[in-house]
Amino acid sequence: MKNLFELQLTYSKLDKIKTLRGELPLEVKDLEDELAGLDTRIKKIEAEIKLKEGDVLKKQQEIKDSETHIKKYIDQQNTVRNSREFESITKEVEFQKLEIELSNKRIKEFKYDIEMKQKSIEVSQKQFTDRSGDLAHKKAELDDIINENQKDEEDLMAYINELESKIEGRLLSAFKRIRSNVRNGLGVVTVARDACGGCFNKIPPQRQLDIKTHKNIIDCEYCGRILVDAEMLGIEVPIIPTQAQRPSIRVMPAGSSRYENTPVVGLDD
């Protein structure tokens, strides 16, 4: 139990060092995720532009084909035998001209879409550049903090590994599970002012006696944290004076003076 409590104290010191980093690790992770998203978006838009460019080429080829057909039909008009064939060929020519107009319209739409997508890429690339600069700055700041406390972290981790080797596997696993499930990382706490040092719920007197004996592992019935005696490592718990030990406050009757019946010392005395 002593090793377990020392392990908790060591982890708390390590957690305190890590809190110096503040929100930087999360900010770095968010920026990395944002950059990954921007990169994916840029690549997706570039792929869409290539498809649109392919559609433009396809329509341009269709225009060439229609122009070839028109030329062919015009040549056929010179060899027609009757007006019915002439009208039929004329309709084919008109149809091909409509196809050319439609293809030109589609080409304009595709080119406009490509232009809009290129502008979107420019915006995303600018955001990517800006966020990359922010990420580099945040990473440098985080690296400075990590390097500044690296020696202390390494020493604490070495001591943690040493303590963990002395603790039973099941107890260590339970401690780590509790630690990971609580917000402040406290898996082992003391009883302070008759309450759990983790969730601050009252601990019954009999349960406090069981904790002091250290014969069994006692956990808080409210939060599940392991409870230990605060005096195990010489930790002093602040003593709250009882009502009888507190200095009494004398209430003066209404209208009376606090200096009543107090002798007045004159200048001659």
What pLDDT does residue 194 have?
84
Token couple for 151 = 């020696």
Tell me which architecture the domain covering 21-164 has in CATH.
Orthogonal Bundle (1.10)
pLDDT at 265 over 70: no
Q: Which of 100, 39, 41 is nearest to 69 (CA)?
A: 100
pTM of the predicted model as reported, rounded to 2 decimal places: 0.54
Q: Summarize pLDDT for 30-52 with one digit per residue, the tens.
A: 999 999 999 999 999 999 999 99
189 has which bridge partners? 227
Task: Give one DSSP letter per residue of the chain, joined into a string.
Answer: -HHHHHHHHHHHHHHHHHHTTTTHHHHHHHHHHHHHHHHHHHHHHHHHHHHHHHHHHHHHHHHHHHHHHHHHHHHHHTT-SSHHHHHHHHHHHHHHHHHHHHHHHHHHHHHHHHHHHHHHHHHHHHHHHHHHHHHHHHHHHHHHHHHHHHHHHHHHHHHHHHHHTTS-HHHHHHHHHHHHHSSS--SEEEEETTEETTT--B--HHHHHHHHHTSS-EE-TTT--EEE-GGGGTPPPPPPPPTTTSPP-PPPPTT--TTTTPPPPPTT-
Domain boundaries along the sequence of the chain: 21-164, 170-233
The better pLDDT of the pair 200, 234 is held by 200
Q: What is the pLDDT of residues 68-87, one digit of tens each?
A: 999 998 888 878 778 888 88
pLDDT tens readout for residues 139-167: 898 888 778 778 888 888 898 898 888 88
Residue-wise pLDDT for 111-141, tens only, equals: 999 999 999 999 999 999 999 999 999 889 8
